[in-house]
């Protein structure tokens, strides 16, 4: 990195020292306050009078809340001691005389005595100028207004452990140097924050309009995951009156990925954001965990090598069936089914006590399907039951009184018409007994009449209701048409077999969640105001629709890359439906074409792989200007030679200080097989990654391509022993995902015949 502009170095050192002094003072004050709050809480506990505790109780609550807040600030300030800021900008606001210098950091620091900001938070409106603004006239938006400024200087600092190492003034030609330096770094165990090198196109996304759903199509390594996390931190900061961190939810592909990204939000001072996988979210909506079939079984079958094409029609039919369950046609089918449940729900009889009609069946239908139509179907039944009980109680007084009156008349008539005698007495007594019995029976009927009526309404569990849909072939035929009649037959048959083994498949979760929402409503505790979906290319339009419906919000940021759509047989192939038809208003759609992760050499080859299959329409990634070694490609006759080559390669990567290395295979079976061989034949001790792996804290991984999605490694060794990468679109995408995981080095080791790409004929120079 060039060392220039050194003339300001002493002043910059002094400024840093002053900031650190002030930081220490602030930390000291916080420490005192912390002790004070703790004392007050202790004191309030000592004086807690359980009979009249309101004062002490509220004191405990107040002080605990302030203590929590203080602890959070304290932790942030402690962290910022190492690097209180990373940049500075000098600017003059239009209409003002003097130039002001703003230092930008992760935590703001305000000098109360001087009434000036010592450090401005990177999320503050004015800091946007630093990320967007070229030197010269520019502007920023704050509190609904736009403010014009002249930007004179942008300066970046390297500060290590609180000491200024160097600084550099940035203009168009040098602005990449810090970015370059940051990209040269080796991968850690976790994803990092990028506050000091956020690029203009990324800043636009982080600060995009909150009132509109946002869709980001970004190429591999363009920073989607990173930006999504920065956007959450930005929104929490900017809209602190509206949101608390718990209002946000990140939906990510698996637990390994969640572990991988878990460091960024705390680093940005935003903790307590909900983080979940799609499957876990669906289970919490359904209020129950279900056993699932292996979700990658289909993918495995679909990418299975089939040179003679024997599996072609089975593959086609499987794709169609899987796609259907997650399509908008499935919604159509479910809507028909719900309508059928509605139509057959209520008994075709009036609500009566004895032969007295309390409510006609027409008025009950109207009540349920019109007056209560805002409620989910089965919630309406609970409401109906209350109404019926109330009606029965109201009317019962009258019926009881009239029955009593009927008997009083009869009794009076006997008394007045017959002379006293034993016979008359017997008659009266028996009449009175009869009256009492009838009254008692009537009272009982009143008590139970609503229940009896409601019991005639069929009610079942969600699971039974969902599964019985699969025995109603006629309804399916009414809702949709498949390419062949056999496809529907085998879909129903296979689903019923899965249900019989007490399992569901991943594709059943969205339809079930939709049915649950329509029939039973939602659990109250799922109170999310803002959802962020990463790796969204693996979702279908129907899944987006269900998520929007069940989360009850239009506030979404959705990020993905169609080139990495390895589940494209059941997921979206473009963003247009999502953009225009899922939310109340069309979503904003932005693209990221620049890739930051990998080198020009690796990205060129990955783009070439995509271009070899029928995926030309996809956006190609443009790598930032960072060169590295050309990928190495070696074919071998024997598996043992491949194992040897991997061993040697890993050793040399370790010697070159690359810390995280992934050996990526096409399938889970191949990964398991290769892992066994590596453990047996080498001293590498790699970790095998499966669907169940929870933590990203190792250095050498053997991982199938579909699980490497979203992750990154210093070096990647793509290995094929038996499972061949063909030129088919799905294979090309899997290979593309695997290749674009590498930050610095990429190699291919394969046994002859397992790579259809003739990478030997790849001419990198042609693409540069
Ligand atoms: N502005 C930036 N400054 C420094 N590093 C960056 C920047 N943007 C992205 N990166 C780095 O690029 C790499 C890729 O980022 P990230 O994983 O967020 O991308 P992605 O688009 O989600 O990738 P993919 O879709 O391939 O999984 C990370 O190492 C990230 O730190």
Q: Is the dihedral of CA 669, 674, 679, 685 positive or negative?
A: negative
Cβ–ligand 1 distance for 561 under 6 Å, the answer: yes
Domains and CATH numbers, the chain: 8-207 (no CATH), 214-287+526-592 (3.40.50.300), 296-341+463-508 (no CATH), 347-456 (no CATH), 614-761 (3.40.50.300)
Helix axes 541-551, 328-343, angle to 10 degrees: 50
Closest-CA residue, ligand 1 atom 14, reads 221
With vertex at residue 220, the alpha carbon angle to CA 217 and CA 224, rounded to the nearest 5 degrees, is 55
Cβ–ligand 1 distance for 565 under 6 Å, the answer: no
Cβ–ligand 1 distance for 221 under 6 Å, the answer: yes
Long-range contacts of the stretch 111-114 (C-beta < 8 A, 24+): 111/22
Task: Spell out where 243-365 has E strands.
Answer: 248-252, 274-277, 351-353, 356-359
Residue 363 annotated in ligand binding = no
Cβ–ligand 1 distance for 198 under 6 Å, the answer: yes
Closest-CA residue, ligand 1 atom 8, reads 223
What is the position in ligand 1's atom list of the atom closest to the CA of 592? 21
Cα–Cα distance between 532 and 229 in angstroms, integer?
9
Map tokens 């990468």 to a residue: 725
The pLDDT-based confidence of 723 (bands split at 50, 70, 90) is: confident
Is the pLDDT assigned to residue 765 strictly greater than 60? no
Cα–Cα distance between 529 and 524 in angstroms, integer?
13
The pLDDT-based confidence of 504 (bands split at 50, 70, 90) is: very high
Average pLDDT over residues 20-39: 81
Cα–Cα distance between 641 and 666 in angstroms, integer?
19
Cα–Cα distance between 237 and 362 in angstroms, integer?
54
Average pLDDT over residues 611-618: 69
Is the pLDDT assigned to residue 630 strictly greater than 70? yes
Distance 268 CA to ligand 1 centre (A): 16
Q: Determine which of 72-81, 499-508, 559-568 has the lowest per-residue pLDDT on average.
A: 72-81
pLDDT averaged over the chain? 87
Average pLDDT over residues 165-176: 75
Average pLDDT over residues 676-701: 91
Cβ–ligand 1 distance for 597 under 6 Å, the answer: yes
629 within 8 A of 745, measured Cβ to Cβ: yes
ipTM over 0.95: yes
Distance 768 CA to ligand 1 centre (A): 22
The pLDDT-based confidence of 53 (bands split at 50, 70, 90) is: low
Q: Residues of 626-641 as b/e, b for ≥16 C-beta within 10 angstroms? A: bebebbebebbeebee
Residue 44 phi/psi, 5-degree rounding, is: -65, -35
Distance 220 CA to ligand 1 centre (A): 8
CA proximity to 235, closest of 223, 222, 224, 249: 249
The confidence score (pLDDT) of residue 714 equals 95
What is the position in ligand 1's atom list of the atom closest to the CA of 187? 29
Closest-CA residue, ligand 1 atom 13, reads 597
Q: Please choose from 226, 536, 603, 606 the residue to mutate so as to test ligand 1's pocket, defined by most ligand atoms within 8 A of CB.
A: 226
Residues 435-454 pLDDT 10s: 999 888 888 888 888 899 99
Distance 598 CA to ligand 1 centre (A): 9
The pLDDT-based confidence of 614 (bands split at 50, 70, 90) is: low
Closest-CA residue, ligand 1 atom 27, reads 710
Cα–Cα distance between 121 and 233 in angstroms, integer?
11
Cα–Cα distance between 209 and 206 in angstroms, integer?
9
Is the pLDDT assigned to residue 758 strictly greater than 80? no
The pLDDT-based confidence of 66 (bands split at 50, 70, 90) is: low
Cβ–ligand 1 distance for 218 under 6 Å, the answer: yes
Q: What is the DSSP annotation of 131-193?
A: HHPPSEEEEEEETTEEEEEEEEEEEEEEEETTEEEEEEE--TTTTHHHHHHHHHSPP-SS---
The confidence score (pLDDT) of residue 123 equals 95
What is the position in ligand 1's atom list of the atom closest to the CA of 560? 25
The confidence score (pLDDT) of residue 3 equals 47
The confidence score (pLDDT) of residue 60 equals 63
Average pLDDT over residues 351-359: 85
Closest-CA residue, ligand 1 atom 9, reads 223
Cβ–ligand 1 distance for 220 under 6 Å, the answer: yes
Residues 6+ apart with CB under 8 A from 152: 90, 91, 92, 99, 135
pLDDT higher at 203 or 766: 203
Q: What is the DSSP annotation of 193-243?
A: --TTT--HHHHHHHT--TTS-EEEEE-TTSSHHHHHHHHHHHHHHHTTTT-
pLDDT higher at 63 or 755: 755
Q: Determine which of 242-256, 286-300, 348-362, 540-554 has the lowest per-residue pLDDT on average.
A: 286-300
Helix axes 422-455, 377-417, angle to 10 degrees: 170
Residue 223 annotated in ligand binding = yes
The confidence score (pLDDT) of residue 311 equals 67
Cα–Cα distance between 224 and 705 in angstroms, integer?
19
Residues 6+ apart with CB under 8 A from 735: 609, 666, 705, 718, 725, 757
The confidence score (pLDDT) of residue 766 equals 47
Q: Round to the nearest angstrom and report the end-to-end CA distance of the chain.
A: 25
Cα–Cα distance between 439 and 397 in angstroms, integer?
11
What is the position in ligand 1's atom list of the atom closest to the CA of 222? 21
Is the pLDDT assigned to residue 62 strictly greater than 80? no
Range among 61-70, 320-329, 743-752 with highest mean pLDDT value: 743-752
Residue 298 annotated in ligand binding = no
Is the pLDDT assigned to residue 319 strictly greater than 90? no
Cα–Cα distance between 528 and 525 in angstroms, integer?
9
Is the pLDDT assigned to residue 45 strictly greater than 70? no
Cα–Cα distance between 99 and 90 in angstroms, integer?
7
Cα–Cα distance between 690 and 747 in angstroms, integer?
22
CA proximity to 601, closest of 732, 739, 434: 739
Average pLDDT over residues 686-701: 89
Look at residue 695 and give its three-state secondary structure. coil
Residues 6+ apart with CB under 8 A from 646: 663, 678, 682, 684, 717, 719, 749
Map tokens 């603004």 to a residue: 133
Is the pLDDT assigned to residue 337 strictly greater than 90? yes
The pLDDT-based confidence of 199 (bands split at 50, 70, 90) is: very high
726 within 8 A of 315, measured Cβ to Cβ: no
The confidence score (pLDDT) of residue 26 equals 85
Residues 248-298 pLDDT 10s: 999 999 999 999 999 898 888 888 899 999 999 999 999 889 999 876 666
Average pLDDT over residues 226-236: 96
Is the pLDDT assigned to residue 413 strictly greater than 50? yes
In terms of Cβ atoms closer than 10 Å to its own Cβ (0-12, 13-18, 19+), residue 176 is: middle
Look at residue 687 and give its three-state secondary structure. strand
Average pLDDT over residues 748-757: 83
Cα–Cα distance between 597 and 603 in angstroms, integer?
9
Closest-CA residue, ligand 1 atom 31, reads 192
The confidence score (pLDDT) of residue 767 equals 45
Residues 76-129 pLDDT 10s: 888 888 999 999 999 998 888 899 999 999 988 888 777 788 999 999 999 999
Tokens of 718: 């793509």
The confidence score (pLDDT) of residue 283 equals 94
Cα–Cα distance between 64 and 8 in angstroms, integer?
45
Cβ–ligand 1 distance for 133 under 6 Å, the answer: no
Closest-CA residue, ligand 1 atom 29, reads 597
Distance 262 CA to ligand 1 centre (A): 15
Residues 514-523 pLDDT 10s: 999 999 988 7
Distance 654 CA to ligand 1 centre (A): 23
What is the position in ligand 1's atom list of the atom closest to the CA of 743? 29
Q: Please choose from 130, 559, 596, 626 the residue to mutate so as to test ligand 1's pocket, defined by most ligand atoms within 8 A of CB.
A: 596
The confidence score (pLDDT) of residue 69 equals 67
Distance 746 CA to ligand 1 centre (A): 17
Residue 219 annotated in ligand binding = yes
- Would you say how long the chain is, in residues? 768
Percent of the chain scored above 90 by pLDDT?
A: 52
Cα–Cα distance between 154 and 521 in angstroms, integer?
53
């Amino acid at each position: 990195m060039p060392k220039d502009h050194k003339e300001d170095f002493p002043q910059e050192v002094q400024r840093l020292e002053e900031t650190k002094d002030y930081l220490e003072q602030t930390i000291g004050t916080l420490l005192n306050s912390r002790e004070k709050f703790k004392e007050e809480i202790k004191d309030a506990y000592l004086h807690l009078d359980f009979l009249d505790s309101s004062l002490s109780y509220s004191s405990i609550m107040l002080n605990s809340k302030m203590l929590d807040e203080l602890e959070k600030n304290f932790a942030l300030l402690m962290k910022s001691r190492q690097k209180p800021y990373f940049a500075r900008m000098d600017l003059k606001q239009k209409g003002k005389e003097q130039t002001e210098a703003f230092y930008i950091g992760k935590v703001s620091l305000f000098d109360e005595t001087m009434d000036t900001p010592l450090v401005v938070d990177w999320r503050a409106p004015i800091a946007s100028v630093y990320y967007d603004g070229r030197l010269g006239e520019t502007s920023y938006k704050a509190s609904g207004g736009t403010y014009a400024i002249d930007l004179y200087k942008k300066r970046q600092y390297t500060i290590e452990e609180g000491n200024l190492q160097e600084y550099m003034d940035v203009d168009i030609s040098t602005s990449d140097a810090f970015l370059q330096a940051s990209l040269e770094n080796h991968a850690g165990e976790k994803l990092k924050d990028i506050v000091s090198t956020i690029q203009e196109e990324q800043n636009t996304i982080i600060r995009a309009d909150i009132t509109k759903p946002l869709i980001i199509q970004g190429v591999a390594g363009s920073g989607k995951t990173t930006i999504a996390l920065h956007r959450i931190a930005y929104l929490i900061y900017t809209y602190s009156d509206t949101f608390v961190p718990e209002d946000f939810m990140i939906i990510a592909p698996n637990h390994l990925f969640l572990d991988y990204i878990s460091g960024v939000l705390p680093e940005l001072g935003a903790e307590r954001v909900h983080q979940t996988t799609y499957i876990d979210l669906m289970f919490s909506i359904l209020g129950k965990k279900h056993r699932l079939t292996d979700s990658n079984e289909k993918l495995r079958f679909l990418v299975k090598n089939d040179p003679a094409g024997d599996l072609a029609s089975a593959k086609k039919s499987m794709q169609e069936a899987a796609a259907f369950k997650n399509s908008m046609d499935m919604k159509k089918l479910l809507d028909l089914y719900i309508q059928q449940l509605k139509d057959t729900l209520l008994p075709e009889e009036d609500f009566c006590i004895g032969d007295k009609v309390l409510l006609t069946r027409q008025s009950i239908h109207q009540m349920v399907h019109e007056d209560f139509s805002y409620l989910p179907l089965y919630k309406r039944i609970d409401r109906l039951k209350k109404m019926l009980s109330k009606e029965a109680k109201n009317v019962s007084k009258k019926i009881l009184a009239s029955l009593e009156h009927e008997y009083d008349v009869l009794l009076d008539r006997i008394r007045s018409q017959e002379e006293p005698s034993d016979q008359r007495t017997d008659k009266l007594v028996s009449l009175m007994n009869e009256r009492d019995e009838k009254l008692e029976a009537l009272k009982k009927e009143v008590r139970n009449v609503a229940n009896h009526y409601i019991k005639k309404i069929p009610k079942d569990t969600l699971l039974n209701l969902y599964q019985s849909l699969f025995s109603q072939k006629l309804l399916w035929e009414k809702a949709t048409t498949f390419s062949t009649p056999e496809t529907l037959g085998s879909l129903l048959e296979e689903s019923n077999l899965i249900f019989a083994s007490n399992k569901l498949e991943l594709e059943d979760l969205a339809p079930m969640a939709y049915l649950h929402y329509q029939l039973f409503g939602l659990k109250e505790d799922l109170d999310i105001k803002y959802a962020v979906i990463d790796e969204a290319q693996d979702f279908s339009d129907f899944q987006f629709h269900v998520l929007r419906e069940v989360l009850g919000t239009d506030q979404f940021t959705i990020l993905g890359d169609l080139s990495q759509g390895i589940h494209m047989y059941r997921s979206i192939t473009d963003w247009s439906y999502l953009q225009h038809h899922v939310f109340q208003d069309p979503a904003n759609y932005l693209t990221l074409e620049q890739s930051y992760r990998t080198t020009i050499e690796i990205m060129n080859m990955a783009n070439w792989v995509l271009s070899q299959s029928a995926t030309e329409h996809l956006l190609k990634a443009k790598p930032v200007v960072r060169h590295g070694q050309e990928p190495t490609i070696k074919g071998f006759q024997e598996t043992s030679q491949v194992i040897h080559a991997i061993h040697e390669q890993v050793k040399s990567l370790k010697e070159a200080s690359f810390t995280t290395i992934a050996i990526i295979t096409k399938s889970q079976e191949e990964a398991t097989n290769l892992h066994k061989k590596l453990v047996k034949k080498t001293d590498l001790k790699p970790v095998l990654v499966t669907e169940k792996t929870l933590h990203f804290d190792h250095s050498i991984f053997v991982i199938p391509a579909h699980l490497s999605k979203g992750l990154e490694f210093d070096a990647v060794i793509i290995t094929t022993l038996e499972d061949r990468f063909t030129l088919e679109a799905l294979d090309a995408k899997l290979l593309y995902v695997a290749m674009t995981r590498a930050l610095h080095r990429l190699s291919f080791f394969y046994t002859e015949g397992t790579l259809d790409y003739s990478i030997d004929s790849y001419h990198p120079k042609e693409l540069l």
